[in-house]
């Protein structure tokens, strides 16, 4: 299996959605008392932030590729 590019937007979205899921589980078990909409309210800002991070990552990779990154330089896969 080949190497994959690092996708920070997917990492960020996954971590925030995981945190929202854990908050729901802890609230359901009675370990914490959260307002009902708090975990759900975390999701839209997290998706917006992940979109912003994805756009910045895309721009950085595109700029790096435009500079003519050759083999062995950042921005290129072998």
Q: What is the pLDDT of residue 76?
A: 52
3-state SS, one letter per residue, for 16-77: HHHHHHHHHHHHHHCCCCCCCCHHHHHHHHHHHHHHHHHHHHHHHHHHHHHCCCCCCCCCCC
Tokens of 70: 């050759």
Mean pLDDT of the region 9-16: 90
If one compares 69 and 14, the residue with the highest pLDDT of the two is: 14
Mean pLDDT of the region 23-45: 85
């Amino acid at each position: 299996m080949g190497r994959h590019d690092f996708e920070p937007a997917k990492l960020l979205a996954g971590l925030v959605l995981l945190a929202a899921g854990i908050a729901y589980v802890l609230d359901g078990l009675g370990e914490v008392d959260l307002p009902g909409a708090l975990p759900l309210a975390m999701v839209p800002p997290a998706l917006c932030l992940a979109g912003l991070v994805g756009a910045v990552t895309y721009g950085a990779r595109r700029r790096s590729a435009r500079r003519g990154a050759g083999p062995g330089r950042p921005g290129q896969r072998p």
